[in-house]
Structure 1
Amino acid sequence: MVFPEALIGGYPRGASFGAVVGDRSPAGRDEFLAYSAQAVTIPGPEVDQLCTLAIANGVHMVVGVVERAGSTLYCASVTIDDHGQLIGQRRKVMPTGTERLIWGQGDGSTLSVTPTALGSLATAICWENLMPALRMTFYAQGVDIWCAPTADARNVQLATMRHIAVEGRCFVLAANQFTRASDLSPSYATQNRDPAAVVCRGASVIVDPFGEVLAGPLVDDEGLLVADLDLRDVTRGKYDFDVSGHYARPDLFALTVDTKPRSVVIGLEP
């Protein structure tokens, strides 16, 4: 089961946190304080609750969270197996636009594919899916199921998900939030809207390694998309196109990835 970006902690759509270029307001700082209080630590009690839910329902889960590390927030995700074990964690490496005001940049230490009983899972958060080098980093590790927690509901998002499925010859599970204005936290100011107004329409989708849509897109409503995945289709697809294998041309192209954890003080890396 794949859940949207920032599901826990909240995606503060429409919030400004009192910021303009060159100035931040006291009220905006209070809003950030409240938003920070909604974030979670990894590991922590909220993640423990997710682990309990995974056991109770016998499912693997990829869940978007807002992570608090010290006083910095990260747009992150956790991967939990059906035994309730935290087996994977990601931090978004590049927040988009105004997200950079409230979320830090993740380092390369979480750019890893997670092996599971279901196959190898990669998680790319929102516009990370548009980063060719990040995609290649995951493809080279062998991806069966590409998980895309997102907040992007544009029509072009479907094209991106289908492209990744064909490019990586993997299944793609994209989960986006369906949100009304009334769902947004009262802890921070947002643009004035009718409480019933849809501020994010969803558009979750499941795609196979040949780019065929198996379920969705689910728009303008809450719901659960379900599909049976035949992982043998990953190998069937790579018969004629393996982007990190026989189609890669390493004699022409090379990608260097720094996966070391980064600390502000050398020697204090976790």
Structure 2
Amino acid sequence: MTTTLRSLAVAVVQAAPVPLDFQGGIDKALRLAREAVESGAKVVAFGETFLGGYPLWLDDAPGAGLWDHPGTKALHRIMLEQAVVPGDERLLPLQELAYASGAIISIGAHERVRRSLVNNQLTFRPGLPVMDHRKLVPTHTERLIWARGDGSTLGVHQAEWGRLGTLICWEHWMPLARAAMHNLGEDVHVAAWPTVRESHQIASRHYAMEGRCFVLAAGLVQTKDDLFDGLERVGGDDAARELLEAIPGEVLNRGGSLIAAPDTRVIAQAGEGEETLFAELDLGEVAEGLANLDTDGHYSRPDVFELSVDTRSKDGVAWL
């Protein structure tokens, strides 16, 4: 695949994470990203929290949300011990791959900020520092593990071919978050999900139409056995193992990744297993779509509606 300013080669890596074992996940991500880059991709997208794995026990394990549950506490401790941190040297190989190849790599991770975990979609960029997007609102039971992000990580990367941004999971049902991102003029958007089920596919395709951009909807494949394997990799814990054993079913994240065009059509669609989707995007479709719909321009009413976005970092304590 080749890339011009109108033509952009992209890839969505739909794969199983290495739950809990962050170094194992980084090693796997590096191998898969390198394979995609060697196939010509200039944008490579992974799903939500690929590094660390999606915390499936919060939704699927009975009792996980009970106060002082020993298994939940044990898993939280492991995540805090394993999570990436700002400036984490373990991530340097992914950054170096972006530098050497000129490709952009978007990947989800559990990140430790002070003593809390946040859900961060990291964007590795050639010649620039990593760009963060921390999930603004953890969804439902996710609030048991992640703190909220703030407006300081709402942004886009300006590449030579256009602009790329990202939102995570149910942020795609936050109308004001979508409006803010549309104002930034994305040409390509990474929609990170744990599984791209039907409702997530609809949200991703709707975002493509509303934002007049291409959407790379990236999901994970994850099984109960993956959770047990990851737990053993980090030393195991009886309380954590007991909680995971209570999860019903075997296949827990089912892929479903897709690549959508600005007119909502599906360019590429994955099944439920591990695979990498490739597509060659005609970026001219973005401008053509804007002829009849620009939700941030001629199809907006700034005299009626106004949105303010606070981009200050909110650390909670100001040391003066």
Give TM-score, length-normalised by structure 2. Answer: 0.77
Q: Does 2:251 correspond to 1:208?
A: no
Q: Does 2:319 correspond to 1:261?
A: no
Q: Does 2:195 correspond to 1:141?
A: no
User: Which residue does 1:53 correspond to in 2?
Assistant: 97
* Kept in 1: contact 2:182–2:295 (CA 8 A): yes
Distance 1:106 1:148 in 2: 17
Q: Work out the percentage of aligned pairs sharing the same amino acid.
A: 37
Aligned length: 264
Question: Partner of 1:225: helix, strand, or coil?
Answer: strand
Distance 2:245 2:296 in 1: 44
Q: Does 2:139 correspond to 1:96?
A: yes
Question: Partner of 2:163: helix, strand, or coil?
Answer: strand
Q: Compute the displacement of 1:94 (Å).
A: 0.3
Q: Does 2:83 correspond to 1:39?
A: yes
Question: Partner of 1:9: helix, strand, or coil?
Answer: coil
Question: Partner of 1:29: helix, strand, or coil?
Answer: helix
Question: Partner of 1:91: helix, strand, or coil?
Answer: coil
Q: Compute the displacement of 1:160 (Å).
A: 1.0
Relative distance call for 1:199 and 1:247 in structure 2 (3 A) is same
User: Which residue does 2:18 correspond to in 1?
Assistant: none
Question: Partner of 2:255: helix, strand, or coil?
Answer: strand
Relative distance call for 1:159 and 1:193 in structure 2 (3 A) is same
* Kept in 2: contact 1:113–1:143 (CA 8 A): yes
Distance 1:67 1:105 in 2: 12
Distance 2:56 2:120 in 1: 17
User: Which residue does 1:158 correspond to in 2?
Assistant: 201
Q: Does 2:122 correspond to 1:78?
A: yes
Give TM-score, length-normalised by structure 1. Answer: 0.91
Q: Does 2:77 correspond to 1:24?
A: no
Q: Which amino acid aligns with 2:257?
A: S
Distance 2:101 2:244 in 1: 36
Question: Partner of 2:282: helix, strand, or coil?
Answer: coil
Relative distance call for 1:194 and 1:246 in structure 2 (3 A) is closer
Q: Which amino acid aligns with 2:299?
A: Y
Distance 1:50 1:156 in 2: 31
**CA deviation digits over 1:85-126, x for unaligned, max 9?**
434111000001111011000011111122123421111011
Match of 2:113 among 54, 59, 69: 69
Q: Compute the displacement of 1:70 (Å).
A: 1.2
**CA deviation digits over 1:10-55, x for unaligned, max 9?**
212124696545x213443222111212210121112212112334
Relative distance call for 1:176 and 1:231 in structure 2 (3 A) is same
Which deviates more from structure 2 when the two are superposed, residues 221-230 or residues 250-259? 250-259
Question: Partner of 1:224: helix, strand, or coil?
Answer: strand
User: Which residue does 1:181 correspond to in 2?
Assistant: 224
Question: Partner of 1:158: helix, strand, or coil?
Answer: helix
* Kept in 2: contact 1:65–1:75 (CA 8 A): yes
What is the RMSD of the two structures over their aligned residues, measured on CA atoms? 2.0
User: Which residue does 2:53 correspond to in 1?
Assistant: 10
User: Which residue does 2:252 correspond to in 1?
Assistant: 199
User: Which residue does 1:231 correspond to in 2?
Assistant: 283
Distance 2:193 2:120 in 1: 11
Q: Which amino acid aligns with 1:181?
A: K
Q: Does 2:244 correspond to 1:190?
A: yes
User: Which residue does 1:115 correspond to in 2?
Assistant: 158
